[in-house]
Chain A
């Protein structure tokens, strides 16, 4: 009896094991489509970056394929959800390069995931367009790495200009501990003096924290602080706004383009009102003057996206739109999917008018984005308002 039950148990265990092993990973298929690999933070704390990015890529790749594809070949999107996890990003990019054999990679919704895969991409030699914010991604320039959003350095500079204009002087700085957050914090500390401002409090919070009241209480009790800047992105941005209101702190409150999504406003509710941040003009396209070249591109993107997905656009989807269009433009000019040719073609992009602004790349500038299209916006009545 005992032996039989032992046998049954072992047989069951073996069955489980075999069940696991029969699912083999998929192999690459015959090379007809142009394969575009993507790894994005589709879910998790940075989902308000990655989700619209993926939706944008899917929508436009469908549209391009409907119109005959690129170089008479269809585009195939191979996308993985790396969340905001550098380790997952490395695994997925290895998979994209070696298993899926993609021709080009778009992604890294966040600075952390982007920086993690750069050594890999540089070694393998695959054109790579990042959708993350920090300046460290393209400064110093890396041969195979490009990016589409404005840098955190520029964002901080815009914020400081606005502070000076409002007569503010003492900054209470709160930062997350991620790559973007820290890059932004470093830029803020470096640039404050240039603008005649002082960082009086410099607080940090951990990733995954859901309560920033201790840090904000410390900032409140620091004498001289008359403005608050938060360096971070994703879910914590709403928590900071909520906690500020919870503590009854009503100092001018600034964030970065890492919060430029309706999700930030929805998450913070009334607490978001009055928050200022620099963002690509696309989210306030309808408020731009008619002669702004950004207006037409922005409105077209907004109309297409909102019609299809029934949700407001964010600047993050815009970053993905620009990455895809830069890639398509480069593929067409190169006339081939040869990686070196495509890389050179991206590097020689000239006056591409995108959602984020006008791009002109060069061997020394792998962002190549103008700064006029980076505007200051303020949360007003649950939406965005352009600050003059």
Chain B
């Protein structure tokens, strides 16, 4: 019985780490621009699909994976330049629709440039499971968890210890004041989209060997990452990580003990509960940003 519980926790933490990375992207963009980027899931798709097709074109992994991340970073920057910057000051509804338009555009482009079919990447360790106390864990899942921890540590160092990171934080607290003390808030905005693109792509590459990827994979992953960010408190990077794990584990336990059919609904039920009882999320201050 405990073996089964351990099994569910393993898959919950693995998928939770992915939600956390996607949620982080949401938070970083929200902090820089107060925009909810509905195209965040498409970064995940671009990372996975680009990696699959670059590898299929004969590139070695070490070259293909960074290139796939780079592509998503460029798409992120392009999205900010083409769609977000010209629409500054537009209403929430307008901005939501612009990013949704972007997500449809990116999905359509991926279907055309690549294809509409399911793909996978070889995971590390050849997909042979490791046994732990009666449960099994894939080497790739270990990689997902470790990589997520490393990325989170690097991000926190970036925000605490670098001038650029500090500038981004300052901008999220008060854009006008940041502008007054000489921070180039335009650059901060661009950087936020680049960062979110990169994080999404890394998540996409990490999860592809475990699940599968296709042009539409970003829709659900994006929404669940959004839930993670929302549960933790919109704009709180720490909250996004905690939110991701909460959503991932709750999903896995529901699938295991209650109903595997309603696994996907868990994230949204949690959102509704959090919104109604504690709208600023578990870690967020009302309208505030915290680290």
Contacts and interface: CB of A to CB of B under 8 A. Distances in A.
Given A210-B212, A211-B11, A248-B131, A235 B260 contact: no
Contacts of A239: 211-212
B129 A246 contact: yes
A111 to B, nearest CB: 19
Contact of B117 (A47, A245, A271): A47
A218 B120 contact: no
A214 B255 contact: yes
B165 interface: no
B129 A210 contact: no
A198 interface: no
B8 interface: yes
Contacts of A218: 4, 256, 260
A235 to B, nearest CB: 4
A206 B266 CA distance: 14
A267 B252 CA distance: 24
A45 B120 CA distance: 13
Contacts of A83: 116
Interface string B255-277: 11000110110000000000000
B260 A204 contact: yes
A247 B136 contact: yes
B56 interface: no
Interface residues of B, number: 30
A211 B211 contact: yes
Contact of A246 (B4, B127, B214): B127
A203 B211 CA distance: 19
A217 B212 contact: no
Nearest to A218: B256
B285 to A, nearest CB: 35
Interface string A170-190: 000000010000000000000
A307 B141 CA distance: 41
Contacts of A47: 116-117
Given A204-B261, A211-B211, A271 B127 contact: yes
B158 interface: no
Interface residues of A, number: 31
A282 B136 CA distance: 38
A203 B263 CA distance: 13
A111 B85 CA distance: 47
Interface string A75-110: 000000001000000000000000000000000000
A47 B212 CA distance: 15
Contacts of A206: 261, 263-264
Contacts of A205: 260-261
B143 interface: no
A5 to B, nearest CB: 13
A311 to B, nearest CB: 13
Interface in B1-44: 1, 4, 7-8, 11, 15
Contacts of A177: 261
A329 interface: no
A208 interface: yes
A205 B261 CA distance: 6
A242 B4 contact: no
Given A211-B11, A211-B211, A246-B127, A235 B118 contact: yes
A32 B39 CA distance: 48
B210 interface: yes
Nearest to A204: B261
B15 A203 contact: no
B131 A214 contact: no
Interface string B94-122: 00000000000000000100011110100
A214 B258 CA distance: 11
A215 interface: yes
Contacts of B214: 44-45
B264 A245 contact: no
Contacts of B131: 248
A234 B125 CA distance: 26
Interface in A312-336: none
Contacts of B211: 210-211, 239
A206 B255 CA distance: 11
A270 B15 CA distance: 24
Contacts of B127: 242, 245-246, 269-271
Contacts of A211: 11, 15, 210-211
Interface of A: 43-45, 47, 83, 177, 203-206, 208-211, 213-215, 217-218, 221, 235, 239, 242, 245-248, 267, 269-271
The 10 closest A-B pairs by CB, nearest first: A210-B211, A43-B116, A214-B255, A235-B118, A215-B260, A214-B256, A217-B7, A47-B117, A210-B212, A248-B136
Given A211-B11, A271-B127, 11 more contacts: A43-B117, A45-B214, A204-B260, A210-B217, A213-B11, A214-B8, A214-B252, A214-B260, A217-B256, A221-B4, A235-B118
17 contacts: A47-B117, A177-B261, A203-B260, A206-B263, A206-B264, A211-B11, A211-B210, A217-B7, A218-B260, A235-B117, A235-B212, A239-B212, A245-B129, A246-B129, A248-B136, A269-B127, A271-B127
